[in-house]
Amino acid sequence: MPRIALIPGDGVGPEIMDAVIPVLEALADKHGITLQMEVYEAGDETKKRRGVALPEDTFEGVRKADATLMVAVGETAKEVILPIRQELDLYVNLRPAKSYPVPNAVQGFDVTIVRENTEGLYVRAGWTNGDTAIDLRVATRRGSERICRYGYRYAKEEGKERVYVVHKANVLLGCKLFREVCSSIAEEEGFEYREMYVDAAAMRLAMDRPFDVIITTNMFGDILADLAAAYIGGLGMYPSGNIGDDKAVFEPVHGTAPDIAGKGIANPMATLLSAAMMFKWLGYREAGEDLERAVWRACELGYTTPDVGGKMRTWEVCASVRDLILAR
Ligand code: NAI
The helix (run of H) or strand (run of E) holding residue 177 is helix 173-188
What is the domain count for the chain?
Answer: 2
Residue 328: pLDDT band with limits 50, 70, 90: confident
Count of CB atoms within 10 A of residue 186's CB? 19
**Is 131 part of the annotated catalytic residue set?**
no
Count of CB atoms within 10 A of residue 289's CB? 13
User: What is the residue with the minimal CA distance to atom 32 of ligand 1?
Assistant: 74
Q: Measure the CA–CA gap between 137 and 120, rounded to whole angstroms.
A: 5
**Is 259 part of the annotated catalytic residue set?**
no
Which residues span the domain enclosing 222? 110-230
Does residue 202 share a domain with residue 255?
no
Catalytic pick among 10, 66, 222, 290: 222
**307 neighbors 8 (Cβ within 8 angstroms):** no
Tens digit of pLDDT for each residue in 85-123? 989 999 999 999 999 999 999 999 999 999 999 999 888
Catalytic pick among 89, 199, 245, 263: 199
Tens digit of pLDDT for each residue in 176-234? 999 999 999 999 999 999 999 999 999 999 999 999 999 999 999 999 999 999 999 99
**265 neighbors 305 (Cβ within 8 angstroms):** yes
- Give the number of the atom of ligand 1 that is nearest the alpha carbon of residue 252: 41
Does residue 103 lie in a domain region?
no
Distance 317 CA to ligand 1 centre (A): 19
Q: Measure the CA–CA gap between 83 and 185, rounded to whole angstroms.
A: 30
Sequence-distant contacts of 314-317: CB under 8 A, at least 24 apart: 314/12, 314/15, 314/16, 314/19, 314/264, 314/265, 314/266, 314/267, 314/268, 315/15, 315/18, 315/19, 315/264, 317/19, 317/267, 317/268, 317/269
How far from 215 is each of 97, 140, 154, CA to CA, in Å?
14, 15, 11
**Is 208 part of the annotated catalytic residue set?**
no
**166 neighbors 201 (Cβ within 8 angstroms):** yes
Does residue 98 lie in a domain region?
no
CATH number for 319:
3.40.718.10
Does residue 151 share a domain with residue 246?
no
Does residue 200 share a domain with residue 252?
no
Calculate the dihedral angle through the C-alpha atoms of 300, 302, 306, 311, rounding to the nearest 10 degrees.
-170
Q: Measure the CA–CA gap between 328 and 324, rounded to whole angstroms.
A: 7
Catalytic pick among 160, 168, 247, 280: 168
**Is 110 part of the annotated catalytic residue set?**
no
Chain center to CA of 206: 20
Return the SS3 of 161.
coil
Does residue 124 share a domain with residue 185?
yes
Does residue 248 share a domain with residue 214?
no
Does residue 291 share a domain with residue 193?
no
Tens digit of pLDDT for each residue in 28-83? 999 999 999 999 999 999 999 999 999 999 999 999 999 999 999 999 998 999 89
Residues with CB under 6 A from ligand 1: 12, 72-75, 77, 81, 235-236, 251, 254-260, 266-267, 270, 307
Does residue 309 share a domain with residue 250?
yes
Burial bucket for residue 35 (CB in 10 Å: 0-12, 13-18, 19+): middle
Residue 1: pLDDT band with limits 50, 70, 90: confident
Name the domain boundary from 173, 196, 230: 230
Does residue 95 lie in a domain region?
no
Of 46, 61, 48, the closest CA to residue 13 belongs to 46
